[in-house]
Amino acid sequence: MSPHYLEIFVIGLALTLLMADAFFPAREKRVIAWIGASGLAIVFGLLFVVDPAALPPDTIAPYYSADPHALFFKGLALIATIFVLLLGCDFMPVLRRGINGADNDRKGGVAESFILPLFACAGMMWMASATDLIFLFLSLELVTISFYVLVASMRRQVGSLEAGVKYLLLGALSTGMLVYGITWVFGATGMTKMSQLAVAVPGMTDNIAALTFGSMLVLAALAFKVGLFPFHSWIPDVYQGAPTPVTAFLAVASKAAAVLVLARFLDPFLNNPEIAAKLIPVLGVISGATLLFGNLGALGQYNFKRLMAYSSIAHAGFLLLGILGRDFTLVSFYLGAYVCMTLAAFFAISIVRRSVGRDDLSAFNGLARRNPALAFTLVVSAASLAGVPLTAGFIGKFGVLMGAVNAGYWPLVAVAVPAAAVGFYYYFKIVRHMFWEKPDDLEPLPVGRLSTTALALLTAGTLVLGFYPRLLERAIQDAPIVPIPAATANTADTP
């Protein structure tokens, strides 16, 4: 089976559900999430049986690649979407209130909150495979536009709308920069295919200024999506305002896909010594500044979602440091770990939010007494986010630091180490609230069976990957980041 059917299947599923939604009674919208999640689970299973060699060579293969990185990221996108749908199920009461107002007249649809992630998921899967800048642009926009709607979906809450507008304006700006950047790269090379760029750009000596300009613009556009300094300012507001499942989706999947695209796109330019000489200092400064802004910004936060927003900025800094170290296997691993631990944290947030009604850190006071198991999973996830050893997050940080040390980026290491130490403080602040502080009421806090299973899986993933990272490593297989099929290298000049 050719891999490109995977996305077609996901889109087909989404369209079917969108139409089927009309016939589901309002009470049963949960079923849509279930069908969506199980459909995605089937697609995830299909990932292991697809045959990359079966891609139609003339129609699809020039635009679409199914290299190990792409398949790995498709897997990540699928897993993240499945968990987000389950999270949405759990979050349904809050979603309903947000969409229909306090009187809950049930006029507005909740189902879109479960169907739009499917479209975004398909977009991310395409992003992972896109090897043509036009295709890349389209898949990125599919993701972004789905997210505009998702972020603003709780339309009775000003916070959600405000987040939606902020995300819309900055997202659209980043779209503009992306197109303009692609335009200049095209203008300088006459190519839009990444595999051609990977062959041609490293040796180019003329039009360097145009190429650098174009690549910087695309870098800026992707920096928006990843949340890199100086384009990180939307993240805290949008994360705080968006419905929690959407925030989790944004934090995890959108970022992972954008990081892969960033690494793919930058690779040819970093291989050109003249452009790299300008690009690497810029990337270094961005990475260092992102680390500082993310970690220092998180220090004073008392809203858990905002804290996670700054934490995601900080992680973006580490990820860029990993891209600079040029060992993309480790970056992929980092992202895999990031997906596990961040999703677990957001599950915990949504559970607490639903029963306590707030998502401040103080809502977590005494959680260790009210629900020790939930507190434990959140400790594991916080430890992993902070980079405490024997969790998946540590291996990610270890790999990134190792890449930076091996590449000799000492100033960045000097920034990354205190930044990571600051991370200990604000992640442990969560632990402090759960264990040290007295709770307002001692009622046990119930967790649904679905969330229990999801949390158990995510926590086990975080711990097992921390001990045995080989599991994920095998999936990535050290492939080159920009796949260059033998055929395209020859036909590069024929339009």
Partner 1 sequence: MTLEHYLIAAGILFCTGLFGMIVRRNILVIFMCLELILASATLTLVAFSRFRLTSGLPDIDAQMLVFFVITVAAAEVAVGLAIIVSLYRSTQSVHMEDLHTLKG
Partner 2 sequence: MPIVLILLVFLPLAAAALIGLRAPARATSLGTAIVMVFLVAALNHYFDRESPSMQFASSLTVMENPGIALAFGIDGMSLVMLLLSVLVLFAALWMIDPLADNARLQYAGSLLIAGGAIGAFASTDLFFFFAFHELALIPTFLLIGMCGRGSNARSAAWRITLYLGLGSLILLVGLLALHHALGQPGFSITELHARAMADPIAPETQSWIALLLIIGFGSLVSLVPLHSWAAPAYAAAPTPVAMLHAGVLKKFGLYGLLRVAVPMLPEGMREWAGLLLVLLLLNIIYMGLVTIACKRLDTMFGCSSVMHMGYLFLAVAALSLTGPDNTLAYRGAILLMFAHGVSIALLFALADRIESRTGTLEIARLSGLGRAMPSLGFLFGIAAFASIGLPGLANFAGELLVFLSGFHGFRPSEGLQPLQWATILAVWGVVISAVYMLRAYRTAFMGDPDASRRHDVLTTEEKLPLAALAGALVVVGFFPNLLLQYLPF
Q: Does 198 bind partner 2 (CB under 8 A)?
A: no
For the chain, the farthest-separated pair of C-alpha atoms sits apart, in whole angstroms, at 72
| Least distance between partner 2 and beta carbon 226 (Å) | 24
Task: Give the separation between CA 435 and CA 390, rounded to whole angstroms.
Answer: 21
Q: How far is the CB of 295 from partner 2 (least distance, A)?
A: 13
Backbone angles phi, psi at 62, to 5 degrees: -65, -20
405 touches partner 2 (CB under 8 A): yes
Q: How far is CA 108 from CA 25, 67, 95, 157, in A?
A: 12, 41, 10, 14
Contact residue for partner 2 among 389, 411, 446, 448 (CB under 8 A):
389
Number of residues that bind partner 1 (CB under 8 A): 45
Question: How many binding residues for partner 2 (CB under 8 A)?
Answer: 34
Q: Give least dist CB 7 to partner 1, A.
A: 17
> Among partner 2, partner 1, none, what binds residue 460 when CB lies within 5 to 8 Å by partner kind?
none
Per CB under 8 A, does 240 bind partner 1? yes
| Ramachandran bin of 227, using left for φ above 0, alpha for ψ from -120 to 50, beta for the remaining angles | left
Give the shortest CB-346-to-partner 2 separation in angstroms: 21
**Cβ 151 to partner 1 shortest distance, Å:** 9
The 290-329 contact track toward partner 1, x by CB under 8 A, reads -------x--xx-x--x-----------------------
Residues 313-372 that bind partner 2 (CB under 8 A): 329, 372
Nearest distance in Å: CB 386, partner 2: 8
Touching partner 1, residues 436-495 (CB under 8 A): 495
Q: Is 421 in the site for partner 2 (CB under 8 A)?
A: yes
Q: In the complex, what is the shortest distance from the CB of residue 348 to partner 2, in angstroms, rounded to a whole number? A: 16
Q: Which of residues 136-155 bind partner 1 (CB under 8 A)?
A: 137-138, 141, 145, 148-149, 152, 155
- Contact status: 376 vs partner 2 (CB under 8 A): yes
| CB hemisphere CA count around 84 (13 angstroms) | 30
Quote the CA–CA distance of 298 and 304 in Å, as a whole number. 10
> Min. distance of Cβ 390 from partner 2 in angstroms?
5
Site for partner 2 in 461-490 (CB under 8 A): 467-470, 473, 478
In angstroms, the CA 121 to CA 135 distance is 15
44: partner contacted, choices partner 1, partner 2, none (Cβ within 5-8 A by kind): none
Q: Which position among 20, 165, 210, 402 is part of the footprint of partner 2 (CB under 8 A)?
A: 402
CA 57, 59, 62, 68 torsion: positive or negative?
negative
Distance, CA of 171 to CA of 223 (rounded, Å): 11
11 binds partner 1 (CB under 8 A): no
Under the binding rule (CB under 8 A), the answer on residue 224 touching partner 1 is no
CB environment 317-326: b (16+ within 10 A), e (fewer): bbbbbbbbbb
Compose the 187-216 pattern: x for residues touching partner 1 by CB under 8 A, - for all others: x--x-x------------------------
If binding is defined by CB under 8 A, does position 440 make contact with partner 2? no
- Site for partner 1 contains 183 (CB under 8 A): yes
Min dist. Cβ of residue 113 to partner 1 (A): 15
Name the one residue in this structure whose structure tokens are 């089927």: 20
Smallest gap, in angstroms, from Cβ of residue 242 to partner 1?
10
Q: Which does 141 bind (CB under 5 to 8 A by kind): partner 1, partner 2, none?
A: partner 1
How far is Cα 60 from Cα 308, in angstroms, rounded to an integer? Answer: 38
Buried b / exposed e across 164-191, counting CB within 10 Å, b at 16+?
A: bbbbbebbeebbebbbebbebbbebbeb
Task: For the beta carbon of residue 294, count every other beta carbon within 10 angstroms.
Answer: 27
Peptide bond between residue 485 and the one before it cis (omega within 30 degrees of 0): no
Residue 469 main-chain phi, psi, to 5 deg: -65, -15
Residue closer to partner 2, measured from CB, 69 or 166: 69
Is 28 near partner 2 (CB under 8 A)?
no
- Give the separation between CA 266 and CA 490, rounded to whole angstroms: 22
Distance CA(219)–CA(211), nearest Å, equals 12
* Binding segment toward partner 2, per CB under 8 A, in 18-26, 199-207, 211-219, 432-440: 432-440
Q: Which residue number, 173 or 457, has a Cβ lying nearer to partner 1?
A: 173
Question: Where on the chain is the footprint of partner 1 (CB under 8 A)?
Answer: 133-134, 137-138, 141, 145, 148-149, 152, 155-156, 158-159, 161-166, 168-169, 172-173, 175-177, 179-180, 182-184, 186-187, 190, 192, 236-237, 240-241, 297, 300-301, 303, 306, 495
Question: Where on the chain is the footprint of partner 2 (CB under 8 A)?
Answer: 329, 372, 376, 379, 383, 388-390, 394-395, 398-399, 401-402, 405-406, 413, 417-418, 420-421, 424-425, 428, 431-432, 435-436, 467-470, 473, 478
